[in-house]
Amino acid sequence: MIDKRLIPYKGLKKEPFSGSHNGMRYLLTGDDGKDSSTFTVYVYPEPWCFEQTPQEQLETASFPLSEEGLDQAVDWLKEKYETGKERWTKAAQEMMHIT
């Protein structure tokens, strides 16, 4: 699903990192800019961007801004995908019908 080597976790202090996997979108962002010691991960369904997704559809968790925290975040993303697979599959299928 997601290769943690592709996520520049130290770079989250400057820029968010986003992606998607089979109907599940995700966003990782540092919490306090250059002074961040934690980062937050959001998951939400296709097809909307983060800013246009209704608040009630966002799921979130925070982690320490470290190699271990990144491991925890990737594990959390994988768990969210597996436990919500039906939701994400439905979102991906419905995306094809939105005009």
pLDDT of residue 59: 97
CA distances 6 to 11, 18, 19, 93, 98, Å, are 11, 11, 11, 27, 30
Q: What is the pLDDT of residues 44-97, one digit of tens each?
A: 999 888 999 999 999 999 999 999 999 999 999 999 999 999 999 998 888 766
User: Model pTM?
Assistant: 0.89
Domain parsing of the chain, residue ranges: 4-95
Query: Which is more confident, 44 or 14?
Result: 44
